[in-house]
Chains A and B, each alone.
Chain A
Amino acid sequence: MVETPKVKIQANNFNVFFGKNQVVKSLNMEVYSNEILGIIGPANSGKTTFLKTLNRLNDLDDDFRMEGSILLDGRDINSQFDVIDLRKKVSIIFAMPLPLPISIFDNVAYGPKMHGIKKGLDEIVERSLKAAYIWEEVKDRLHESALNLSGGQQQRLCIARSLAIEPEVVLFDEPCSGLDPISTAKVEEAMMELKKKYTIILVTNNVKQAARVSDRVAFFLMGELIELDSTEKMFTNPSNKKTIDYISGRFG
C-alpha cells in the first residue's frame, strides 16, 4: 500500500506577469514533503520564475505581478506569511555560486546572525558545512575568504549557508550549470542526502541530472506545466508528445 504523501507546497491557478508578458500560465501543482522535485524545460519556460516566487525574491522586481495563490503548509505565502519568516523557511541556491566576499565562517553564519542568533554559531557552522559535504575540505581554513574556494566548493558552501538558517524547503536554481562533472556529482550527492530532512525543488537544464536525483519531474514549456509524474514514468513512458520530444532532445 502506498502512503499518501504530505503536501508541502501547493500552487493554485498561479500566474506570473512581468510587465505585459505572462511567464507562468495557470499553474496547478503540488510539491510533497521530503521529495526532490525536478523541474525541466527549455529557456523561458518559467521554471526559475516559479522557483523565485516561492521565497518571494521576485518581489524585488518592480515589473513582477502574480495571480492565484501559493500555499506553504496550507498558508498563503503572500498574505499569511511575513516575507522574512517565509525566506527563513524557504531558502534558495542560485545558478552561479555566490559566496559573499567574506570568510567561509562568516558566510555560513550570516543568516543566523541576521536572525539575532549570537550563541552556538560555531556548532551551526560546523553542522551546516557537514550537511553540505564540505566540512572536511574547509575545516582548517574557516577564516579564509570564501572566494579562494573552487567553484564546486563555493556552491557547496552556498548550500551550507542556506542550511544554516534551518529551512524546510531548499530551492536549487540550476545549481550545477557552472560546475565540472566531479563537483556536480558532489552537489548531487549532497542533495540526495538533504531530502531526508528537507523538501527540495531542483530547476535544471540538465535532463540527465533531473533523472539522476529527482523523485518526480515536472516539465515546463512556455510558462505551462506540460506534465508532472514520477521520474521513472517521465523518462520511460511520458504521456505527452512534447515531453517525449524534449527529453529525447528534439527541441529545447
Chain B
Amino acid sequence: MNSRVSQKIAFTVLFLSALVTILPVLLIIVVIVKNGISAISWEFLTAAPTNGMRSGGIFPAIVGTFYLALGATAISLPLGVMGGIYLSEYSKDNMFTRILKLGIVNLAGVPSIVYGLFGLSLFVIYLKFGVSLISGCLTLAIMELPSIITATQAALHSVPRSFREVSLSLGATKWQTIRHSVLPHALPGIITGAVLSNARITGETAPILFTVAAFYLPHLPSSVLDQVMALPYHLYVISTQIPGISKSTTYGTALVLIVFTLSLNLFGIILRTYLRRQKKW
C-alpha cells in the first residue's frame, strides 16, 4: 500500500468518525425543532398550563428554571471562587490538600441522582426546608461547585507566577497580590467556567426531582420556600405521566429547554471570546 492510499484511508476514517460523533447531536436538534416548532407561540411561552397540562403554556416552568439557575449560581459562584482561591493560592501542597483536590475533581463525576438524594436528606428533611426553591438551589449549587472550583483553580494557575513575584516584591501583602494582580486576570476564566457549568446543571432533572420540582403549579413562587415547576422535570412529566398530550407540546417544551441551555452556553462562549481579546499578555 503506497503512502498516498494510506493517507486517503486515514482521512476517510477520521472524517467519518467526526461525522458519526456530530450526527446524533444534529439529529436531536433537527427532530426537536421539526416536531416542536409548531407549538411555540406567545401563549405557550407566557401562559400557565391548562386542561391537565395538555394545553396552555409552560411559563411557570420557564420561570422556575430561571430562578433555579440564578439561585444555584448565586450560591455556588462566591463559595466556589473563594474555595478555589484558597486551594490554589494558600493551601500547602501536602497529602491532605492533594486528597481534597482529587475529591473535588471526582465530585464532578458523581451521578446527578446522588446529588438529588443528598439534597433530599440534608435540605428537605434534616434542615426542614421542605421541597422548596431554596432546597433545589442549594442542591444544584452543590452540584455546580466542583466545576466552579476547578475552573477557578485553572484560571488562577494560568496567571503567570511573575505577576505574583512582582507584586510581592513591591511590598504588597499576599491578599493584596491576589486581589489586585492575580484575580483580575483570572476572572475571564472563572466567569466562563461558571456560565458553562450553569448551563449544564440547568438541564438536570434528578437533582430537582425530590428537592423542588412541582408536578403542577400554575402560579409563580412567592417565597424561597415555595415549590416551582422546572423545564426538565415538566418535560419528564408530560412525556411519561400525561396520556393523550399532543406531540408538539412535548417537543415544544424540549425545544424551549434546549434553547435555554444552548443560549447559556453561547453566552459563555461569547463572553470567553470577548474577555480573551481583552487579555493583553
Contact = CB atoms under 8 A, between A and B. Distances in A.
A184 B114 CA distance: 63
A147 B280 contact: yes
The B interface, classified by DSSP as helix, strand, loop or mixed, is: helix
A94 B162 CA distance: 9
A62 interface: yes
Given A94-B162, A114-B180, A55 B93 contact: no
27 contacts: A55-B169, A57-B169, A60-B164, A62-B93, A84-B173, A85-B171, A87-B169, A87-B170, A87-B171, A91-B169, A91-B170, A94-B162, A98-B162, A98-B163, A101-B279, A110-B167, A110-B170, A110-B180, A110-B181, A111-B170, A111-B171, A115-B171, A145-B280, A147-B281, A162-B169, A162-B170, A165-B170
B234 interface: no
Given A101-B185, A114-B180, A147-B280, A94 B165 contact: yes
A211 interface: no
A161 B185 CA distance: 20
Interface of B: 92-93, 162-173, 176, 180-181, 185, 279-281
B168 A57 contact: yes
Contact of A111 (B93, B163, B172, B279): B172
B169 A92 contact: yes
A156 interface: no
B166 A98 contact: yes
Contact of B170 (A96, A101, A114, A145): A114
Top 4 nearest A-B pairs by Cβ distance? Answer: A111-B170, A114-B172, A88-B171, A87-B171
A162 B171 CA distance: 10
Contacts of B168: 57, 60, 87
Nearest to A84: B171
Contacts of A165: 170-171
A92 B163 CA distance: 13
Interface of A: 55, 57, 60, 62, 84-85, 87-88, 91-92, 94, 96, 98, 100-101, 110-111, 114-115, 145, 147, 161-162, 165
Contacts of B185: 101
A182 to B, nearest CB: 25
A60 B180 CA distance: 18
A55 B170 CA distance: 10
Contact of A114 (B93, B165, B176): B176
B165 to A, nearest CB: 6
A220 B234 CA distance: 75
Nearest to A148: B280
Nearest to B172: A114
A101 B280 contact: yes
Nearest to B166: A98
Most B CB contacts (10 A, CB to CB) among A91, A98, A161 go to A98
Nearest to B92: A62
Contacts of B171: 84-85, 87-88, 91, 111, 114-115, 165
Contacts of B164: 60
A94 B281 contact: no
A73 to B, nearest CB: 17
Contacts of A115: 171
Given A111-B171, A114-B170, A165-B171, A57 B280 contact: no
A100 B163 contact: yes
Given A114-B170, A115-B171, 10 more contacts: A60-B164, A85-B171, A88-B171, A94-B162, A94-B166, A100-B167, A101-B279, A110-B180, A114-B171, A114-B176
A42 B141 CA distance: 55
A203 B226 CA distance: 68
Contacts of A101: 185, 279-281
Contacts of A114: 167, 170-173, 176, 180
